[in-house]
Amino acid sequence: MTVRYKRPDKKNALSIVLAADREMHFTLTLKLTADAASTIIRNIYECFRMLGDALLVARGVESSDHLLPIQELIKLNVNTSRPISLLDNLRRLRHQINYYGYLPSVVEAEDTISLAKACFKSISEAVFKEVGGKKL
């Protein structure tokens, strides 16, 4: 894992949070089918990763992989109905889909959607607040 330090950029971090929110909102409107499962899982994962990136950008840190952004989210002190640590499982699932041609089941996509519904809003609000955003 390579980490590079840059100038903190809160404006860019806020843009990333807002983009993640828009993408998540859209992704959750997609009809869940066997053909759409991998796209839905990848999109949901990407929205969470973007939130982690927003934290890093606001702190002036650039990561060369997806591990650090997800780790930053897992460190957040946020109350959710499902454990935030499940984001690391989602990271691994997305890796299998992208790099090994794994075809996820509809049940795996339903679980991912459930995780997003249980955690995304709280995490997004915490990240938004931490990067200096005003009340939504």
Chain segment 72-112, per-residue pLDDT in tens: 999 999 999 999 999 999 999 999 999 999 999 999 999 99
Q: Is the pLDDT of residue 71 over 80?
A: yes
Averaged pLDDT for residues 111-124? 98
CB count, 10 Å around CB of 56?
A: 19
| pLDDT value of residue 2 | 65
| pLDDT value of residue 118 | 97
Closest CA to 41 of 105, 112, 128, 100: 112
Averaged pLDDT for residues 53-72? 91
In the chain, the amino acid numbered 76 is L
Q: What does pTM read for this prediction? A: 0.93
pLDDT tens for 4-53 read 677 889 999 999 999 999 999 999 999 999 999 999 999 999 999 999 99
Pairwise CA distance, residues 130 & 41, whole Å: 26
Q: Please check whether residue 131 is in contact with residue 13, taking contact to mean a CB–CB distance below 8 angstroms.
A: yes
Q: Is the pLDDT of residue 136 over 60?
A: no
Pairwise pLDDT comparison (64 vs 71), residue with the higher score: 71
Place of tokens 């915490």: 126
